[in-house]
């Protein structure tokens, strides 16, 4: 039979579950990537992720041709609505089976349901496989067969279940001879951004090489730093983490390969590797939460938290715009927002600090911040982003308790002590001494003048040499938050 592999968030040819199963069960296998009109329509016209995907597909196409060993091989690329395009292509190719990897986001589930139905009507089937995580859905449950909602027992059960089998690669290359040549009409190169109505971004100037080759480069760069990860990961000015988030998001690297490296190193008493593995387990944890509780995409995991009354109206919009644009007057928060706006990346510590600041200092609904991160993050992933925001707003499973409120100044003093990160992203403060850079409003007139800094009104757009006063007073905001969260007192 003829099979069609539909690639989505798994843009690689090695160690690929759906591709492996297709090659094992079909004599001729085609591969397609669909630029999904429904996903692309609402995006800004300059979107780093679209460019990252496009560049990764160029590599994937070349990798497929190399693997198939014939010039006519390679990737079919289409644009359109999945429920129409995938069945249409399957019919054109004479494919009776379509193979894809699981995607447990609610919209993806609805899309796959519609594609499955349309394929069935045409006499074809959709087969799907786990590929994106190590354990999914019901694979790790409590002793009473329920999904976990607390991380540490989940992690312990995850580690108990783990063995070499779950980390082993799918040997796609052993069956590569089944890869079929593309039909004449499909031998087009991957479309340019402009052909899809998108504009180039600054992606090529960022240290974020796309495709499987890019992932391999980042991984090779990270492995010598793995042992230090546990400590170095906390400091935004230090090259501590792996920067692999976007590659894990789009599957340009296999989670099995990455988790295997982490696990093997952690078995050899590499403490950094054990911490890194734990972060990868958080990723699985949030994926299973979303799969079991799709309502978290729009609601608090803990229902009582939906009764909280957030700031509304013009004042809320004013505060939110200042947060988005990095003019809150808190240098670490503003530097972090400059990082996400300029690069699409934000350091994990700063995701926690900025999320906490939006929710607990400005009193803004966490969903607003979640949506902003969804627009901006290169590694945006609904499960992890929602998990992170609900953690910060205390509404999630195993979240930060609501009365623990990050102090943006002490976070800054602790994690960017010498102000290196702030100086990079808020250069107009660079002249302030280390002890004043975290809270410039505490500097005296003489110190400000010596540093060439003029303090302007809160919320003003900073210019060369000027910086706004704080948007809110943290101590007062803290009190307001404790009373705002009063409605959840006593709830679980």
**Active centre residues (catalytic):** 279, 282, 310, 348, 366, 389
The 8-class DSSP code of residue 441 comes to G
Stretch that binds ligand FAD, among 24-32, 75-83, 237-245, 437-445 (CB under 6 A): 237-245
352 lines the binding site for ligand FAD (CB under 6 A): yes
∠ at Cα 240 (234, 245), nearest 5°? 100
Asked if residue 105 lies in contact with residue 290, where contact means CB atoms within 8 angstroms, the answer is: yes
- Figure out which of the listed residues 170, 198, 286, 421 binds ligand FAD, where binding follows CB under 6 A: 286
Q: Give CA separation, 35 vs 49, 138, 241, 276, 314, in Å.
A: 12, 30, 30, 33, 37
Stretch in the footprint of ligand FAD (CB under 6 A) among 54-62, 245-253, 446-454, 482-490: 245-253
- 400 vs 428 by CB, closer to ligand FAD: 400
Q: Nearest distance from residue 233's CB to ligand FAD, in Å?
A: 5
Smallest gap, in angstroms, from Cβ of residue 243 to ligand FAD? 4
Residue 49 to residue 152: CA distance in whole angstroms: 32
Q: Which parts of 346-468 fold into alpha helices (H)?
A: 348-356, 366-376, 382-392, 408-415, 420-425, 434-437, 445-451
| Inter-residue contact 10 to 32 (CB < 8 Å) | no
Residues in the chain, overall count: 492
What binding mask, one character per residue, do residues 179-218 give for ligand FAD by CB under 6 A, x or -?
----------------------------------------
Give 194: exposed, middle or buried? Use CB within 10 Å, 0-12, 13-18, 19+: exposed
Instruction: Name the token pair of 263.
Output: 């696990």
Of the listed pieces 150-158, 182-190, 345-353, 481-489, which binds ligand FAD according to CB under 6 A? 345-353
Q: Which is nearer to ligand FAD, 371 or 435 (CB)?
A: 371
CB 228 within 8 A of CB 235: no
Q: Residues 392 to 411: which contact ligand FAD by CB under 6 A?
A: 392
Q: CA–CA separation, 231 vs 463, rounded Å?
A: 35
166 contributes a contact to ligand FAD by CB under 6 A = no
Q: Is 355 in the site for ligand FAD (CB under 6 A)?
A: yes
Edge-to-edge order in the sheet of strand 2-7: 76-80, 28-36, 2-7, 95-101, 125-129
Closest-approach residue to ligand FAD (CB): 388
Nearer to ligand FAD, 272 or 440 (CB): 272
- Residue with smaller CB distance to ligand FAD, 20 or 243: 243
The answer to whether residue 233 forms part of the interface with ligand FAD (CB under 6 A) is yes
Residue 277 CA, distance from chain mean position: 17
Among residues 3, 73, 74, 245, which is the contact residue for ligand FAD, using CB under 6 A? 245
244 forms part of the interface with ligand FAD (CB under 6 A): yes
Residue 389 sits in the site that holds ligand FAD (CB under 6 A): yes
Least Cβ distance, residue 209 to ligand FAD (angstroms): 14
Q: Which is nearer to ligand FAD, 363 or 388 (CB)?
A: 388
Please tell me the distance from the alpha carbon of residue 383 to that of residue 379, in angstroms, as a whole number: 11
Residues contacting ligand FAD: total by CB under 6 A = 28
Provide the b/e sequence for 378-403 (b: ≥16 CB within 10 Å). bbbbbbbbbbbbbbbbbbbbbbbebe
By CB under 6 A, residue 99 contacts ligand FAD: no
CA-closest candidate to residue 355, choices 406, 315, 418: 406
CB of 387 to ligand FAD, least distance (A): 6
CB of 422 to ligand FAD, least distance (A): 19
Question: Do 103 and 381 contact (CB within 8 A), yes or no?
Answer: no
Stretch that binds ligand FAD, among 32-40, 88-96, 235-243, 484-492 (CB under 6 A): 235-243
With binding defined as CB under 6 A, does residue 254 bind ligand FAD? no
Considering the complex, state which of residue 412 and residue 428 has its C-beta at the smaller distance from ligand FAD: 412
CB 323 within 8 A of CB 337: yes
CB atoms within 10 A of CB 204: 11
- Per CB under 6 A, contacts with ligand FAD among 368-387 are 373, 377, 379-381, 384-385, 387
Residues that bind ligand FAD (CB under 6 A): 233, 241-245, 248-249, 279-280, 282-283, 286, 348, 351-352, 355, 373, 377, 379-381, 384-385, 387-389, 392
């Amino acid at each position: 039979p003829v099979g069609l592999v539909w690639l989505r968030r798994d843009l690689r040819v090695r160690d690929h579950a759906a591709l492996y199963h297709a090659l094992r069960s079909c004599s001729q296998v085609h591969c397609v990537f669909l630029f999904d009109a429904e996903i692309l329509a609402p995006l800004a016209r300059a979107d780093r992720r679209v460019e990252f995907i496009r560049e990764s597909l160029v590599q994937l196409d070349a990798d497929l041709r190399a693997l198939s060993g014939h010039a006519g091989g390679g990737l079919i690329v289409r644009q359109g609505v999945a429920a129409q395009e995938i069945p249409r292509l399957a019919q054109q190719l004479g494919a009776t089976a379509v193979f894809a990897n699981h995607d447990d986001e609610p919209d993806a589930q609805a899309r796959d349901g519609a594609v499955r139905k349309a394929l069935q009507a045409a006499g074809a089937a959709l087969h799907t496989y786990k590929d994106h995580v190590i354990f999914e859905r019901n694979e790790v449950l409590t002793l009473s067969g329920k999904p976990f909602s607390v991380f540490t027992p989940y992690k312990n059960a995850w580690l108990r279940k783990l063995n070499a089998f779950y980390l082993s690669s799918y040997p796609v290359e052993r069956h590569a001879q089944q890869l079929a040549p593309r039909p004449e009409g499909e031998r087009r190169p991957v479309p340019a951004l402009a052909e899809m109505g998108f504009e180039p971004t600054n992606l090529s100037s960022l240290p974020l090489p796309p495709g499987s080759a890019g992932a391999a480069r980042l991984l090779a760069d990270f492995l010598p730093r793995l042992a230090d990860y546990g400590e170095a990961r906390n400091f935004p000015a230090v090259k501590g983490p792996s920067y692999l988030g976007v590659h894990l998001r789009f599957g340009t690297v296999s989670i099995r390969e990455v988790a295997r490296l982490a696990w093997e190193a952690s078995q050899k008493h590499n403490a950094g590797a054990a911490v890194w593995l734990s972060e990868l387990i958080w990723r699985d944890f949030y994926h299973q939460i979303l799969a079991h509780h799709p309502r978290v995409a729009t609601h608090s995991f803990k229902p009582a938290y939906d009764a909280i009354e957030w700031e509304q109206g013009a004042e809320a919009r004013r505060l939110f715009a200042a947060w988005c644009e990095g003019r809150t007057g808190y240098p670490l928060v503003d530097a972090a927002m400059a990082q996400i706006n300029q690069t699409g990346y934000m350091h994990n510590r700063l995701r926690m600090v900025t999320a906490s600041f939006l929710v607990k200092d400005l009193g803004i609904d966490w969903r607003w911040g979640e949506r902003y991160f969804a627009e901006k993050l290169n590694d945006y992933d609904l499960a992890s982003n929602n998990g992170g925001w609900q953690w910060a707003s205390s509404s999630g499973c195993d979240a930060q308790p609501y009365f623990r409120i990050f102090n943006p100044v002490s976070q800054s003093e602790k994690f960017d002590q010498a102000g290196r990160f702030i100086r990079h992203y808020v250069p107009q403060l660079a002249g302030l001494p280390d002890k004043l850079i975290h809270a410039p409003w505490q500097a005296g007139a003489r110190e400000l003048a010596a540093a060439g800094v003029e303090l302007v009104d809160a919320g003003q757009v900073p210019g060369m040499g000027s910086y706004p006063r704080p948007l809110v007073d943290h101590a007062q905001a803290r009190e307001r938050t404790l009373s705002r969260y009063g409605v959840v007192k006593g709830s679980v």
